[in-house]
Every structure is written in C-alpha cells, then in structure tokens.
Structure 1
Amino acid sequence: MAGYEKELETTLRIARAAGDMALEYRRGGIAFDSKSDESPVTIADRECEKLIVRGLTEDFPEDGLLGEEGATRESSNGRKWIIDPIDGTRDFIRGTKAWSVLIGLEEHGQVVAGCAYFPATGDMFWASRGQGAYRKSATEEERLHISDRKTQAEALLCVNGLSLISKYPFASDLVPWMARFWTVRSMGGCVDAMLVSSGRADVWIEAQAKPWDLAPLKIIAAEAGAVTFDFAGDDTIYGGNYVITVPPLAEEIRRFVSRGRQS
C-alpha cells in the first residue's frame, strides 16, 4: 500500500473495528431517532463515530475532522478526515447487508485516500492517489477496474435518491432517458458506487449526498478509472449530488444532469 501507506493502514483497521462494533449493536436489536432532515440515526452511528475519531486522533492529531454525527475539528496542516460511521442507516436498521463504514482523507481540498467497508459481508474497498483501487473479501483480493462499456444501450445505470429527483428540472425526462440504458438498478449509494468502480455497473447517479457520503467513493472510483462530478459538472464532493461514470458516457450524463440544479 505505497502512497499514504500509514493512513490506509490506520483507516482500514479503524473501519473494521467500527464495523465490528456496529454488528454487535445490530445483533442486540436497535432503536433509532430521526434527525432534523428526517434521516434516521442510532446509538451505533454515534458510538462508531466516536471510535473512529479516537483512532484517527491518536495517529493523526493535527488533522481536521468532519463526521456525519457531529465530529468536527479544524486542521492545522491542510488535511481533514471525512467520516460516515454507518452509511446506509436505513439498511442497517432493517437488517440488510447494504451498509458501510466510510472514511476518506482530504488534503488541501482533494480526496487522496479512503476506504469503504461492508461489515455484514466483510468486503473492504480502498484506494489512495496514484496507487489504484482494491477490494478484499474473505476469499480474494482484486484490483478494481471500471467496465469497457461505451454506449447507454449496453450500460447498467444505478440511480439513488428517487424520492428527491422531483426537485430537479430533468425529473420529467428521467424515465424515458433511463429506458435508453440496458438496465437500471438502485441498491444503495455506496453499493452502487462500488459496482461501478469494480466494473459491475457503469453509471451511478445520486440525487442527494453529503461530503461524508462521497469522500472515499470519489478516490476509489477515480483510481479505478471512472469520472466523477456533481450535477453542475464540477469535480467536488460538496455539491449536494453526485455522478460516477465510465468515461465514454460522461458527456451524455453531464449533459442530462446539468439541468439538475435545484429549482
């Protein structure tokens, strides 16, 4: 793991520990509250974020922090860890396997390393700048590469946040536009993003996303060969929405969602 080797080793270790903690909470049954935006939050979300923050602070005390559940610390060196302790809390509550621990490192405004860990399956995805993207399961490890699909007719499209699509100008055209693809899926944000990164899907469109939902996904996808941008066409994780796509389809996807600024 050359290139941010120490950071990745720490990140993978902490992500696994947080995942183990979340699984223990899940086995005991879980209650949840609703945040101000109506999204659910559990004690597992909060305690896992505390665990991640402790681990990162111990190894990188000068780095900044930004966590979904409120962790924040200013950076003294231009580096910031962006944390989602349980991405997919609804799936976590319902007992599916489509939830993950997300940790990304931003350095001077660019995501340079990160991981996405799925505790319920044991799959770990990670990447660092210039060093490629990888997946490791209980039985195998592979370097990730996007697919070679070049047209919508042969591409698998993933769309998330369907309940929020109506606020975008392209909403009325979405269904006929999706019909131009080979098939369409919606399995969950991180799941779908990793499908694109591993060549098992070709486009991921997310109607609403925060930086902690996206930081590690961006570097993993980019190192696998994908193109990333928000609905305004900007290469940022702070735009509130996101696209990951194979390069041949980037122009068409950008054209379609560029009408996607909130009305």
Structure 2
Amino acid sequence: MNYQRELEFARRVAVAAGDNAKHIRASGITAETKPDASPVTIADKENERLIREAIEREFPDDGILGEEGSSKAGSSSRRWIIDPIDGTRDFVRGNRFWCVLIAIEEADESLAGVAHFPMLDETYWAARGSGSYLNQERLYVSAIDSIDACVFSPDGLHLIQARPYLPRVTELMQRSWAVRSYGGALDACLLAAGKAEIWFEPKVEVWDLAALKLIIEEAGGAFFALDGSRRIDRGTAIGCAPGIATYVREAFGIPPA
C-alpha cells in the first residue's frame, strides 16, 4: 500500500477528532457565523487544533492548511489539508452526515486522503495508486452509462453561487433516475462506492475536496471543475461515473477532456 504511514496516521487522527467532536457536542454547543456566512463551533476549532498538533508532532517538515485558519508553509514539498468538521450545519442540527476530512498533497496532487463519518461508523480512504476503500472494503464507481439510469446528487443549490447553473442542474435532475442529496462529502463518497453517478458542488474550497477527489478517482471515477480542469482550487466540483462523463460535461457546457 502506498503512503501507508500517512494513511494510518490520518485514519487514527480522524477517528480521534470525530470522538472529540462528539464529546464536545454532548456538552452543548452554539454556532457562530463566519464572514462567508458558514457556521463554526468550538468543536471545529478544537478539532483543527488536535489535528494540527498531531501533524506537527509526526510530520514536522510538512506544511498545513486548515479551514479554521491553520497555515504553515513547511520545509518539505508536502502539505496536509484539513477540514476539521465538514458539514458543520449537520453537526449543529444533530444530523449524522458530518465528517472529518484529512489529506496530504504534493505538487497539487493528493497522495492520501480520509473522510471519517463518526456517526455512521464509516471511514472512506484512498492512496494514490492503491485504490479507494470504505473501512476495509474496496470501492468501485458505478458502471452505469446513461443519464436516465443515474442517481444525481447536487449540493449547495441554496447558495447564490449556484444561481448561474440552476437551469442546467434542473434539466439534469429531471433526466436522472433519482435525485439524492445527503451533504457534499457523503454524496462524493457514495459516488465512489457506486451508489450514485453524479455529484455537483457550485461552491467549494480546497479543504472540502483534497480527500474527496482522491477517493473518487481511486475508485475509478472522473473529477473535474466547471472549467474542465482536475484542480481543487477552482471553487466548483463535479464527480461522476466514467460512463457518463461525456454527457455530464455536455450538460454543464464543459469542453471535452
């Protein structure tokens, strides 16, 4: 297995952060609103501190970037990217679909990534060149090759950034076999597990995508932003089964790869 040490570390720390967040929530939480209108809690901040300190102990030369402000250049060419609680709205409301996202990248490509869902007892993980897994089960994307047979998971449609894409999204929803949206990270992981065929995000950050892109691609899926690139810093994301990638690109007006 490639990047075994990094994977074992990321899974261990993600589980510890998930347990930490559950403990904090049991004691009662309130949410503040950040400048971008997203919520943040003491659990987000404490989880990022826990993960950052663990990285600094075990991989002191690596850089760090976290949603809640962690930023360290590092002396190596590698960087850890952290979303301490992805789905804070779900966390605040007591829904089960929030997770901890941890990835390590080099040269703009994720090497290893973990998405741990504490309330579901599920950990999705992947390493570059070694496949994607749910706990210990190997994952593969769906073989479906037609839109009318696919499950479409669009997220963030309430955001103003989604407005330019709503006509295309609505048309694709009406052509799909089913529409299911549980939350960005879980929808991406369900795509990797072959339980959905299209995942769309109109507004995302690098910490939302660093682990998820790798999990999707290592399961055999296609990942691209609305500009057609595979980059995670373009602010949008689409994941899909390879058999419908051409149709999805056409639906969103993206030039062929």
TM-score by length of structure 2 reads 0.96
106, 117, 141: which one pairs with 1:146? 141
* Residue of structure 2 equivalent to 1:109: 108
- 4+ runs of 1 displaced by more than 2 Å? 164-174, 255-259
Within the candidate set 248, 251, 255, 1:253 is matched to: 248
Q: CA deviation at 1:77?
A: 1.6
Structure 1 residues 104-129: Cα deviation after superposition (integer angstroms, max 9, x where no partner): 11111111111000011211111001
Q: What percentage of residue pairs aligned between the two structures are identical?
A: 43
SS of equivalent residue, structure 2 residue 175: coil
Runs (5+) with no aligned partner, structure 1: none
Number of the residue aligned with 1:25: 24
For 1:165 and 1:144, how far apart are their aligned partners in 2? 34
Of residues 216, 219, 239, the one that matches 2:214 is 219
Q: Distance in 2 between matches of 1:177 and 1:202?
A: 12
Q: Are 2:191 and 2:239, in contact at CA under 8 Å, matched by a contact in 1?
A: yes
Measure the CA separation in 2 of the matches of 1:173 and 1:67. 32
- In the other structure, the counterpart of 2:68 is 69
* 2:202 paired with 1:203: no
Residue 174 of structure 1: aligned partner: 169
Letter in 2 for 1:253: V
> 1:166: Cα distance to partner?
6.1
Within 2, Cα distance between the matches of 1:51 and 1:62?
17
Report SS of the residue matched to 1:243: strand
2:185 corresponds to 1:190: yes
State the 1:167 CA deviation. Answer: 4.9
* Letter matched to residue 41 of structure 2: T
Partner Cα separation in structure 1 for residue 243 and residue 144 of structure 2: 8
Answer yes or no: is the 8 Å Cα contact 1:12–1:115 preserved in 2: yes
Contact 1:170–1:256 (8 Å) recurs in 2: no
Q: How many residues align?
A: 254
Q: Aligned equivalents of 1:165 and 1:253: distance in 2?
A: 22
The alignment's C-alpha RMSD in Å is 1.2
The structural deviation recorded for 1:185 is 1.2
- Relative distance call for 1:185 and 1:252 in structure 2 (3 A) is same
Please give the alpha-carbon distance, in whole angstroms, between the structure 2 residues aligned to 1:121 and 1:72.
Answer: 30
What does residue 37 of structure 1 align with? Answer: 36
Quote the offset at 1:177 in angstroms.
Answer: 2.7
- How far has the Cα of 1:90 moved from its partner? 0.2
1:66-121 superposed Cα distances (whole Å, 9 cap, x missing partner): 00000000032210000000000000000010000000111111111110000112
> Does the C-alpha gap of structure 1 residues 57 and 166 become closer, same or farther in structure 2, counting only changes over 3 Å?
closer
1:118-154 CA distance string (max 9 Å, x none): 0112111110011111111xxxx31001111000011
- Separation in 1 of the partners of 2:40 and 2:161? 25
- Structure 1 counterpart of 2:224, one-letter code: F
Q: Could you tell me whether the CA contact under 8 Å between 2:161 and 2:203 is conserved in 1?
A: no
Tell me the CA shift for residue 10 of structure 1: 0.7
Following the alignment from structure 1 to structure 2, what is the Cα–Cα distance between the partners of residues 168 and 232?
A: 17
TM superposition shift of 1:169: 3.5
Q: How far apart in 2 are the matches of 1:166 and 1:241?
A: 9
Aligned equivalent of 1:240? 235
Q: Which residue of 1 aligns with 2:14?
A: 15
CA distance in 2, matches of 1:10, 1:166: 35
Find the aligned partners of 2:137 and 2:48 in 1 and give their Cα distance: 28
Deviates more, 1:167-176 or 1:220-229: 167-176
Equivalent pair of 1:68/1:85 in contact (CA under 8 Å): yes
AA partner of residue 120 (structure 2):
T
TM-score using structure 1 length: 0.94
